[in-house]
Chains A and B, each alone.
Chain A
Amino acid sequence: MTDFNQNFENIPPTEEPSPRKRLILAKRKFLFLGLLFILVLGILVLLKLLFGFKKNVPSSPLPIASPTPTPTISEETIPQSFWATDSGILRIEEEVKNIERELDNTDIKEKSLMPPALDWKIKF
Chain B
Amino acid sequence: MIKKLTLIILLNFLLPFSVFAQDFDFNRAFSDYLYNFDLYRQAYQEYVSARDSFLQYKTLTSKTNAFQKTLKMAQARDETLRTYLIALKMKLRETLGVSSAEQNLFSLRLDNEANWYQAHKDELSSAGSLEDLVELAHKAEERYQQQTEILIYQTLHKILVSKENNLAEKINTQIAALKDKLKEIKEKGGDVSLPERWLLETEKRLNRFEEKVSDSFEKMGEMEKSIFLDKGQVYREAQLGLEEAHQYLKEANRYLKEIIREVKTEE
Show the binding face of A for B, using Cβ within 8 Å. 78-81, 83-84, 86, 88-89, 91-93, 95-97, 99-100, 102-103, 106, 108-110, 112-116, 118-124
Given A80-B265, A108-B246, A118-B40, A102 and B167 touching (CB < 8 A)?
Answer: yes
CA distance in complex: A121, B134 (Å): 9
Task: Tell me which residues across on chain B come within 8 A of A96, comparing CB atoms.
Answer: 174, 253, 256-257, 260
Closest 6 CB pairs of A and B: A79-B266, A120-B141, A84-B264, A81-B266, A96-B256, A93-B260
B130 touches A124 (CB 8 A): yes
CA distance in complex: A37, B210 (Å): 86
User: From residue B66, how far is it (CB to closest CB) to chain A in Å?
Assistant: 7
Among residues 127 to 173 in chain B, which have CB atoms less than 8 Å away from a CB atom of chain A?
A: 130, 134, 137-138, 140-141, 144-145, 149, 152-153, 156, 159-160, 163-164, 167, 170-171, 173
B44 touches A119 (CB 8 A): yes
Among residues 102 to 120 in chain B, which have CB atoms less than 8 Å away from a CB atom of chain A?
A: none
Task: Tell me which residues across on chain A come within 8 A of B256, comparing CB atoms.
Answer: 92, 96
CA distance in complex: A116, B263 (Å): 51
Task: Look across to chain A and name the residue whose beta carbon is closest to the beta carbon of B85.
Answer: A115
Given A88-B181, A93-B260, A113 and B88 touching (CB < 8 A)?
Answer: yes
B134 touches A122 (CB 8 A): yes
B249 within 8 A of partner (CB): yes
Show the binding face of B for A, using Cβ within 8 Å. 30, 33, 37, 40, 44, 51, 54-55, 66, 70, 74, 77, 80-81, 84, 87-88, 91, 130, 134, 137-138, 140-141, 144-145, 149, 152-153, 156, 159-160, 163-164, 167, 170-171, 173-174, 177-178, 180-181, 184-185, 190, 239, 242-243, 246, 249-250, 253-254, 256-257, 260, 263-267
A89 touches B167 (CB 8 A): no
B164 touches A92 (CB 8 A): no
Task: Look across to chain A and name the residue whose beta carbon is closest to the beta carbon of B177.
Answer: A92
Chain B CB within 10 A, most for which of A88, A100, A114, A116: A116
Determine chain B's interface SS by DSSP, over half rule: helix
A78 touches B70 (CB 8 A): no
Task: Tell me which residues across on chain A come within 8 A of B40, comparing CB atoms.
Answer: 116, 118
User: From residue A70, how far is it (CB to closest CB) to chain B in Å?
Assistant: 17
Given A89-B263, A124-B51, A110 and B134 touching (CB < 8 A)?
Answer: no
Given A108-B246, A109-B239, A122 and B70 touching (CB < 8 A)?
Answer: yes
18 contacting pairs across A/B (C-beta < 8 A): A83-B263, A83-B264, A92-B177, A92-B181, A92-B256, A93-B257, A95-B174, A99-B167, A102-B167, A102-B170, A106-B163, A108-B243, A110-B160, A116-B84, A118-B80, A120-B140, A120-B141, A122-B137
CA distance in complex: A122, B265 (Å): 70
User: From residue A76, how far is it (CB to closest CB) to chain B in Å?
Assistant: 13
Given A89-B260, A95-B174, A124-B55, A83 and B167 touching (CB < 8 A)?
Answer: no
